[in-house]
Amino acid sequence: MPRYALKVEYHGAPFAGWQRQADQPSVQGAIEAALAKLEPGPHTIAAAGRTDAGVHATGQVAHCDLQKDWDPFKLAGALNYHLKPSPVAIVACAEVAEDWHARFSAMERRYVFRLLMRRAPATLIDGLVWQVAQQLDAEAMREGAAHLIGHHDFTTFRSSICQSASPVKTLDEITIEEVEGQCGPELHFRLRARSFLHNQVRSIVGTLERVGAGSWAPERVKDALEAADRSRCGPVCPPHGLYLAGVGYPDDPFA
C-alpha cells in the first residue's frame, strides 16, 4: 500500500482546528473527505502537528495510505479539485517509504506569528494577523525572547489542557523581524523547535507583546519562565496570527 506525504496550506478561520471532529469542520476531515472521492472508503491521515481553531498553515505536512499507485503530481491535483471550496490546498505531494510518518519522522517544527501595528482596521488581511493599535519596541522584545531560547521547563507558557507528558522543551530559535507589510508595519515572530506545547507559541508572543508595549521589562520574561507557574504568563494572543510554516525531516520528501 503506497504512502504519500502531503504539504498542506490552509486558512484556519472556517475550521475547529486540524483534528477531525464529529460535529465541526476540520482540516483533517476536509482532506479525508477528498481522499474518499478518489478511493471510496474511510481514510485516516496523520499530521506533523495539530493546529488549533483559527490557526493557519503554509507548511503543514501529513501522510496518507492509498490502494492505488498514484503519480504524486496528479494526486495533488485531484485532491485540490475535491477540496473546493474549502480553503485548503495540497501544495506538494511525494511518495515516501511505508514506515515514514509525518509526525514521528519530523525533526523540527517552525511557526510564524504575524502582528500588525496599526490603529485603523486592517480590512484586507483581517483574520490573517493579530492587530494592535500601538507601535511596539522590537528590540525590547528581542531582549525578553532571548531568555526563552534553550532547554527549559515551559510550564508558564503551557496551556492548562496541554497533553504533553513533560513541560520541558528545547526552543532552538526565536527571531523577531520588522516588516513593512501590505497594510502597515508588522512584526514576524519565527520560532523553531523539535516540538511545542499546547498554546506555547501564542503564550510566548502574547507575553512578548507586553514587553514591546512597555508594560513588562524584558527581565520579567526570565522571571516568569523560572517561576514555572501558568499564572505568571502574559495574555495568550489570538490564533489568527499564527501559521505552521514548516516541518523539518532528515530527508525532505518534497525536495
- Among all residues, which ones are annotated catalytic? 52
Q: Would you tell me how many other CB atoms lie within 10 Å of the CB of residue 22?
A: 6
Q: Is the dihedral of CA 115, 116, 120, 123 positive or negative?
A: negative
User: CA 154, CA 113: separation in Å to the nearest integer?
Assistant: 19
Q: What is the CA radius of gyration of the chain?
A: 19
Q: Would you tell me how many other CB atoms lie within 10 Å of the CB of residue 183?
A: 18
Burial of 84 (0-12, 13-18, 19+ CB in 10 A): exposed
Q: Parallel, antiparallel, or unpaired for β 46-47 and 56-65?
A: antiparallel
**From its phi and psi, is residue 117 left (phi > 0), alpha (psi between -120 and 50) or beta?**
beta
Burial of 142 (0-12, 13-18, 19+ CB in 10 A): middle
Give the chain's largest Cα–Cα span.
Answer: 58
Amino acid identity of residue 189, one-letter, is: F
Helix (H, G, I), strand (E, B) or coil at 38: helix
Helix (H, G, I), strand (E, B) or coil at 102: coil
